């Protein structure tokens, strides 16, 4: 029965309850001729009221009822007045002080008293006078429910039992903190941070629902945030197991009226929708600091009537309800009132109101669906709660695709610049006005093309938007080559972001030609930088250094914009320097780039990128402590940024996790990388291929900690995600992921499985024409062949690897050194001492010496090369044991010893 029908039934019952029974049927039939459901409900209520007994029965029962109530009040008063519980032993614990009291009993802070170890817990005891069968059964049910819930954001059960006088007790994890709402307000958390905390609560509730448990009493006081910032869900005292027949627990309505769902008030069957409604109420308060319903009096009955009868006020309107300007509420969210209303209007209004629908089947189908819609809002994707128009969906699209949408920013700047100059420079007013009008006309035509109403409802893609802009630019801004060049470069950059190289190339060439003709040094440098990006993405990164050298020679670093371009060009050099094993140069270049940038927000993205490159290079140079010092200051700031900036958080966490792993702080490193995975999934979606890189790094972090089974599982997830990222049949990311998975399998000595993965990786890398991954996969397959004793196959793969990598890798690059060492090892396995001739041994010594000068001179590769050189010098297997090597190298060393033994 909906709220309107229930109100009608209640009003009719009130009107008829004192009338003679003989008149009921006729009067109900007259009043409810149009609604059989209300008719039957009113008659049932009247009969139930009559069945409660006559006044004489009530008079008879009243003295006993009053006496029982007086006894309970006296017992409760005695409990509250007596300090006897302090110091009382309950199981292995000693009660310290009372920290809470509710309808069932009291909660005490307790300490472990059995001497086994130090521990503080929250002990829950039933209040005297209330130990009736129903309450005892409910208490035991809570104990059973908590025992089955294991989640980092649910206060876990520590112990439980029965006191000497027969009362059950629970010992729960003690949370020293404050409720979620107060915690957020006290720290002036913005809406984004509040939504992230709310998603943590949703995860905990979803965990309970997966185990068929409905909490039924979610409210801020049952959700605490500890001093460590971790959210904890408490109090499953009235939780209900969905698959239980209540186990003797009464169906008595037990709830907090202010946070009850309509079906709880009506006494109907409860489902997970009750918790979804409560989460909607919680989110409402977190966002706008008020409750959605206005009750005339602060009484349970008033709240129940409001829940049944009122429609909730939209959060964006509630901020300034009752004549309050909302300044205090907005300030606790680090916003102005007008800005807070704008932030809440639209998506957040729709999400909250959907969760607060009166009918359970009109709310979100699950807590996960609720949380996913919040994540869509954070990712600037269309939310399911809001049946937006095509214009709304297009706006969401443009928010998500910032590269394409940057066209609007460039044009707006051109317009503003034109209008501003017109006010101050009379001579240039006409020219600037024409330029601004042309830019505005270009943007209008661009968004006309983007408007789905003009596209007959077709879906809009970023490529469609750019193609439309390119066509329009052919005739836009006549005579304004500088402004036109800026727009063309912006569109070319967006094309490169989409890996549409063929579309970007002519735009860059056109700007380069016109800039050279005009002598525009800054725009020519910008075109050269974009040309480097084009060559790099086209697997011709060797052409980048000369382009960037010329670009830097054209720029004046005294100009902030040109200094920013120099810093960006330094970042583009990193990949080539990595291939050349020049990590010291990377360190110097990144430090120089950071000195060129200012402290403004416009330089912030690039500053973090340079810092990440710097930290990565320091890690490779085995200077992880320095790397940590470079990146750690950014973490707190990035964790509280909006989604555009939080993209940087994923890479920062990944690089820092590598530093911590190198410092031996493996647990911290793994936790940090798991956070990176979580951030990436919230930004892009769980199944977006972009998340694969975070799983890849997680696998590497787990492997460094020796947790190979978990590493393989993470890498399998990365492979799964990369398989969904085909682009024209070419997928270099999949090749890399397959090779990484094979490396982990080699470490587990699962060589047959590793070879199968490497075969696929080689095929994918060859199709994608991605030489770096092709060469790496060939080397690892050569290792697997050699472990199996197939020296000719190993030599063939090693030779092919050298042919692939030689054009782009220096002779002293680690990959090339590993190839030379493996080739010599293959000869030793097959030919024994005959392979150790003077020329081969000289090369082995040179490889070992070169490895000693690499960033990681103590790694397994370097130790294996040194082992080969030592063996060669003795011209027989070393008398000393093989030094500690990776498992695959140890196996190869064993194979090398076999031919030598046969000769002797």
pLDDT digit string, tens, across residues 301-340:
666 777 777 788 888 888 876 556 678 888 898 888 888 8
From CA 729, how far away is CA 315, in angstroms rounded?
A: 48
Select the more confidently predicted residue: 410 or 8: 8
From CA 160, how far away is CA 141, in angstroms rounded?
A: 12
Q: Is the pLDDT of residue 349 over 70?
A: yes
pLDDT of residue 710: 94
| Nearest of 264, 250, 343 to residue 303 by alpha carbon | 264
- Map 86-100 to HEC letters: CCCEECCEEEEEEEE
Which of 367-376, 725-734, 781-790 is least confident?
Answer: 725-734
Radius of gyration in angstroms for the set of CA atoms belonging to the chain, rounded to a whole number: 35
From CA 320, how far away is CA 127, in angstroms rounded?
A: 42
Residue 808 CB burial class (10 angstroms; 0-12, 13-18, ≥19) = middle
Q: What are phi and psi of 656, to 5 degrees?
A: -65, -35
DSSP 3-state of 391: helix
- Burial track 777-793 (b if 16+ CB lie within 10 A, e otherwise): bbbbbbbbbbbeebbeb
Q: Is the pLDDT of residue 461 over 60?
A: no
DSSP 3-state of 682: helix
The predicted-structure confidence for 788-800, as pLDDT tens digits, reads as follows 889 899 999 999 9
Structure tokens at 694: 């975070």
From CA 287, how far away is CA 279, in angstroms rounded?
A: 12
pLDDT of residue 416: 47
For the four alpha carbons of 745, 746, 748 and 754, in that order, the dihedral sign comes to positive
Structure tokens at 18: 């004192």
- Residues marked active site are found at 217
From CA 812, how far away is CA 235, in angstroms rounded?
A: 63
From CA 403, how far away is CA 476, in angstroms rounded?
A: 20
pLDDT of residue 250: 37
Name the strand (E) or helix (H) holding 694: helix 692-704
pLDDT of residue 70: 56
β-bridge mates for residue 107, sequence order: 100, 124
Binding-site residue numbers for ATP are 124
Structure tokens at 31: 């009043």
Which of 384-388, 631-635, 805-809, 876-880 is least confident?
Answer: 876-880
The predicted-structure confidence for 237-274, as pLDDT tens digits, reads as follows 545 545 444 433 334 445 677 788 888 877 777 788 99
| pLDDT band at residue 457 under the 50/70/90 scheme | very low
Q: Is the pLDDT of residue 771 over 60?
A: yes
pLDDT of residue 411: 47
Share of the chain above pLDDT 90, in %: 13
Strands 213-214 and 120-126: unpaired
| pLDDT band at residue 393 under the 50/70/90 scheme | very low
CB atoms under 10 Å from CB of 335, counted, come to 20
Name the strand (E) or helix (H) holding 903: helix 887-903
pLDDT of residue 865: 86
Structure tokens at 468: 């439309």
CB 49 within 8 A of CB 12: no
The predicted-structure confidence for 37-61, as pLDDT tens digits, reads as follows 888 888 888 887 776 554 445 555 5
Q: Is the pLDDT of residue 371 over 60?
A: yes
The predicted-structure confidence for 423-455, as pLDDT tens digits, reads as follows 444 444 444 444 444 444 444 444 444 434 334
Select the more confidently predicted residue: 245 or 701: 701
From CA 710, how far away is CA 697, in angstroms rounded?
A: 12
Q: What are phi and psi of 96, to 5 degrees?
A: -105, -55
pLDDT of residue 713: 94
Q: What are phi and psi of 123, to 5 degrees?
A: -100, 130
pLDDT of residue 71: 54
pLDDT, the chain, mean: 77
pLDDT of residue 102: 65
Name the strand (E) or helix (H) holding 780: helix 771-787
Strands 223-226 and 240-241: unpaired
From CA 327, how far away is CA 324, in angstroms rounded?
A: 8
Select the more confidently predicted residue: 387 or 186: 186
Contacting residues for 195 by C-beta, under 8 A, at least 6 apart: 374, 377, 378
Share of the chain above pLDDT 70, in %: 74
Q: Is the pLDDT of residue 341 over 50?
A: yes
pLDDT of residue 278: 92
Instruction: Report, as an integer, the average pLDDT of 122-147.
Output: 64
| pLDDT band at residue 711 under the 50/70/90 scheme | very high
| Nearest of 499, 517, 415 to residue 770 by alpha carbon | 499
The predicted-structure confidence for 499-538, as pLDDT tens digits, reads as follows 778 888 888 888 888 888 888 898 898 889 888 888 877 7
CA neighbours closer than 13 Å in the CB half-sphere of residue 826: 24
pLDDT of residue 884: 60
Residue 752 CB burial class (10 angstroms; 0-12, 13-18, ≥19) = exposed
Residue 890 CB burial class (10 angstroms; 0-12, 13-18, ≥19) = middle
Give the C-alpha distances (Å, rounded to integers) separating 59 from 53, 66, 104, 724, 744: 10, 11, 29, 76, 81
From CA 796, how far away is CA 805, in angstroms rounded?
A: 14
| pLDDT band at residue 809 under the 50/70/90 scheme | confident
From CA 295, how far away is CA 313, in angstroms rounded?
A: 13
From CA 53, how far away is CA 59, in angstroms rounded?
A: 10
From CA 252, how far away is CA 270, in angstroms rounded?
A: 12
CA neighbours closer than 13 Å in the CB half-sphere of residue 763: 7
Which of 246-260, 282-296, 477-491, 636-650 is least confident?
Answer: 246-260
Contacting residues for 519 by C-beta, under 8 A, at least 6 apart: none
CB 153 within 8 A of CB 194: no
Which of 307-316, 548-557, 844-853, 882-891 is least confident?
Answer: 882-891
Which range scores top for mean pLDDT: 632-646, 837-851, 860-874?
A: 837-851
| pLDDT band at residue 875 under the 50/70/90 scheme | low
Which of 594-608, 734-748, 811-825 is least confident?
Answer: 594-608
pTM above 0.75, yes or no: no
From CA 597, how far away is CA 605, in angstroms rounded?
A: 11
| pLDDT band at residue 362 under the 50/70/90 scheme | confident
pLDDT of residue 545: 86
From CA 378, how far away is CA 643, in angstroms rounded?
A: 7
| pLDDT band at residue 699 under the 50/70/90 scheme | very high
Select the more confidently predicted residue: 243 or 491: 491
Contacting residues for 349 by C-beta, under 8 A, at least 6 apart: 314, 315, 316
Q: Is the pLDDT of residue 198 over 90?
A: yes
Q: Is the pLDDT of residue 494 over 80?
A: no
pLDDT of residue 61: 54
Select the more confidently predicted residue: 173 or 715: 715
Select the more confidently predicted residue: 393 or 330: 330
| pLDDT band at residue 78 under the 50/70/90 scheme | very low
Q: Is the pLDDT of residue 622 over 70?
A: yes
CB 254 within 8 A of CB 238: yes
Q: Quickly name the fold that domain 175-387 has.
A: Transferase(Phosphotransferase); domain 1 (1.10.510)
CB 684 within 8 A of CB 643: no
Instruction: Report, as an integer, the average pLDDT of 179-201.
Output: 91
pLDDT of residue 374: 92
From CA 823, how far away is CA 817, in angstroms rounded?
A: 10
Residue-wise DSSP of 78-134: HHHH--TTTT-EETTEEEEEEEEE-SSEEEEEEEE-SSSS--EEEEEEEPTT---HH
Contacting residues for 247 by C-beta, under 8 A, at least 6 apart: 137, 141, 241
CB 529 within 8 A of CB 551: yes
What are the extents of the domains in the chain? 3-51, 175-387, 810-903
């Amino acid at each position: 029965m909906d709220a309107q029908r229930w109100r009608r039934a209640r009003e009719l019952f009130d009107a008829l309850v004192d009338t003679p029974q003989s008149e009921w049927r006729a009067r109900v039939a007259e009043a409810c001729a149009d609604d059989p459901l209300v008719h039957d409900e009113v008659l049932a209520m009247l009969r139930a009221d009559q069945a409660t007994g006559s006044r004489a029965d009530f008079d008879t029962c009243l003295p006993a009822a009053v006496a029982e109530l007086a006894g309970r009040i006296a017992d409760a008063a005695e409990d509250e007045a007596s300090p006897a519980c302090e110091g009382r032993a309950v199981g292995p614990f000693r009660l310290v002080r009372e920290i809470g009291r509710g309808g069932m009993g009291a909660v005490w802070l307790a300490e472990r008293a059995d001497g086994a170890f130090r521990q503080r817990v929250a002990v829950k005891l039933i209040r005297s006078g209330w130990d009736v069968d129903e309450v005892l059964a409910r208490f035991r049910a809570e104990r059973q429910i908590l025992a089955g819930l294991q989640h980092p954001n649910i206060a876990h059960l520590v112990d439980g039992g029965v006191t000497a006088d027969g009362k059950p007790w629970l010992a729960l994890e003690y949370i020293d903190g404050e409720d979620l709402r107060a915690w957020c307000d006290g720290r002036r958390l913005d809406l984004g941070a509040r939504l992230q905390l709310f998603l943590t609560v949703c995860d905990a509730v979803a965990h309970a629902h997966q185990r068929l448990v409905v909490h039924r009493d979610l409210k801020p006081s049952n959700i605490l945030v500890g001093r460590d910032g971790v959210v904890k869900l408490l109090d499953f005292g009235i939780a209900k197991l969905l698959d239980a027949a209540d186990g003797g627990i009464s169906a008595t309505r037990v709830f907090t009226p202010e946070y009850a769902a309509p079906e709880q008030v009506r006494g109907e069957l409860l489902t997970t929708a009750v918790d979804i409604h409560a989460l909607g109420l919680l989110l409402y308060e977190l966002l706008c600091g008020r409750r959605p319903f206005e009750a005339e009096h602060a009484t349970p009955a008033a709240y129940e009537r409001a829940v049944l009868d009122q429609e909730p006020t939209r959060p964006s309107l509630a901020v300034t309800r009752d004549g309050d300007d909302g300044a205090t509420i907005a300030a606790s969210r680090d916003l102005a009132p007008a800005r807070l209303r704008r932030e809440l209007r639209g998506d957040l209004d729709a999400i909250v109101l959907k969760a607060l629908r009166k009918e359970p089947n009109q709310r979100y189908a699950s807590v996960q669906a609720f949380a996913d819609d919040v994540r869509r809002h954070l990712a600037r994707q269309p939310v399911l709660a809001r049946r937006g128009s095509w214009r709304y969906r297009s706006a969401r699209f443009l928010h998500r695709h910032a590269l394409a949408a940057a066209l609007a920013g460039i044009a707006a700047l051109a317009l503003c610049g034109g209008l501003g100059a017109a006010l101050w420079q009379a001579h240039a007013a006409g020219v600037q006005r024409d330029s601004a009008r042309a830019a505005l006309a270009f943007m209008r035509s661009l968004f006309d093309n983007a408007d789905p109403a003009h596209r007959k409802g077709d879906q809009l893609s970023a490529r469609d938007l750019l193609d439309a802009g390119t066509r329009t630019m052919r005739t836009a801004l006549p005579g304004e080559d500088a402004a036109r060049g800026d727009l063309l470069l912006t569109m070319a950059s967006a094309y490169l972001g989409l890996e549409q190289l063929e579309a970007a190339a002519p735009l860059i060439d056109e700007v380069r030609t016109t800039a050279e003709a005009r002598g525009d040094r800054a725009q020519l440098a910008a075109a050269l930088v974009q040309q480097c990006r084009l060559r790099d993405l086209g697997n011709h990164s060797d052409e980048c250094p000369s382009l960037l050298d010329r670009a830097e020679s054209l720029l004046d670093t005294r100009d902030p914009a040109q200094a920013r371009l120099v810093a960006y060009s330094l970042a583009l050099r990193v990949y080539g320097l990595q291939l050349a094993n020049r990590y010291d140069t990377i360190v110097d270049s990144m430090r120089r780039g950071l000195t060129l940038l200012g402290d403004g927000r416009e330089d912030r993205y690039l500053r973090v990128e340079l810092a990440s490159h710097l930290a990565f290079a320091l890690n490779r140079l085995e200077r992880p402590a320095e790397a940590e010092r470079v990146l750690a200051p950014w973490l707190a700031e990035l964790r509280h940024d909006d989604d555009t900036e939080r993209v940087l958080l994923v890479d920062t966490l990944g690089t820092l996790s590598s530093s911590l792993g190198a410092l031996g702080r493996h647990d911290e490193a793994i936790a940090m990388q798991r956070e990176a995975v979580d951030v990436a999934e919230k930004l892009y979606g769980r199944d977006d291929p972009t998340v694969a890189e975070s799983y890849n790094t997680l696998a590497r972090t787990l492997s460094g900690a020796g947790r190979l089974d978990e590493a393989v599982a993470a890498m399998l997830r990365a492979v799964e995600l990369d398989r969904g990222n085909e682009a024209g049949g070419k997928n270099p990311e999949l090749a890399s992921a397959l090779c990484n998975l094979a490396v982990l399998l080699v470490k587990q000595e699962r060589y047959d499985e590793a070879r199968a993965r490497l075969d696929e990786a080689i095929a994918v890398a060859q199709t994608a024409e991605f030489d770096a991954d092709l060469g790496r996969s060939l080397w690892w397959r050569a290792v697997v062949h050699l472990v199996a004793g197939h020296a000719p196959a190993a030599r063939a793969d090693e030779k092919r690897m050298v042919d692939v990598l030689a054009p782009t890798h220096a002779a002293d690059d680690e990959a090339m050194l590993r190839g030379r060492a493996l080739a010599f090892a293959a000869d030793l396995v097959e030919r024994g001492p005959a392979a150790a001739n003077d020329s081969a041994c000289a090369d082995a010594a040179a490889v070992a010496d070169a490895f000693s000068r690499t960033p990681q001179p103590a790694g397994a590769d370097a130790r294996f090369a040194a082992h080969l050189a030592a063996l060669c010098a003795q011209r027989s297997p070393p008398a000393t044991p093989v030094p500690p090597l990776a498992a695959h190298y140890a196996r190869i060393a064993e194979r090398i010893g076999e031919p030598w033994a046969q000769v002797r």
